Structure 1
């Protein structure tokens, strides 16, 4: 079985727009997914990027137009100015790391629930009650919000270092077991084709 390393940020609108595309592709090709949440703002600083708020107005305007177009094409709701953006990504990321380690629920669903909470439901994904609700909704014990915080912090930091080392510079970012890199939810088709070619 091949594996896909998925680097993402829980506040990334483009990762939100990826929906369950990665999970569907993985299921189609019998691949596993390792979810690697990271601090996207720190990643930008380490790889020559700039936080959205600090970009030139032309880039900000284009990003907003592109998000609206993509959401419309995908028939996905999107609040372009969510009430809690940006927010602290660490608590939700720790919960995902703890959930992946514990098993028993649907990690992909958990990841998507955090992104939907931010970009559709105007919820603060750094809030403990929101985190617990997302965990429960994805089939995990809500107490994971409290347990494994040290491991979560260590893994979260390690994910950033690994991302920089492996050439990740944005989110969503997918790396296959044979080292092929795909950046952006609009590259999921290419990821699908690559995995199909590996089997042929």
Structure 2
């Protein structure tokens, strides 16, 4: 059986088995101290957001070796909850660390980010020309969503207000959360962001 020891992304710098593209969204993730790979333009639950996901390279290696690619069919993932299916369920490769909604109107992006508070940390990134007002900050604080504002090109965004670390306290792993992880895993594979190097 072929072995794999590291994840590579051409033209990007690897860190702790994961890589992060160099752009404003990845700098926002750095400001928020979210580890992992930043994926822009993910369409989840009819919302276009950026996702920060941490990859378990060993689980990815195991799935590559066993032929278990991403499973994006929601009903197929739901079957893993059955006791008789748990023994053959593939290991989870992706852990969601954060979701960022970006835009000009804070009401719109806050509504988008707020839908993911049960999955992971969340944040909104406002354009440089739109400074968050007190209503924005209070509403975001109520939902545990971090608020950032774009800075000059090439600079890290300004953190106007920190948010909750992780999902809401009542959140628990579910078929839905695992399905979202598989969707993110599929996007990483589609974008060639998880290419295992064969070592022999």
TM-score under structure 2 normalisation?
A: 0.27
Give TM-score, length-normalised by structure 1.
0.27
Query: Relative to total residues, which structure has the larger strand share, 1 or 2?
Result: 2
Higher relative contact order, structure no. (Cα contacts within 8 Å, ≥ 6 residues apart): 1
- Which structure has the larger Rg over C-alpha atoms? 2
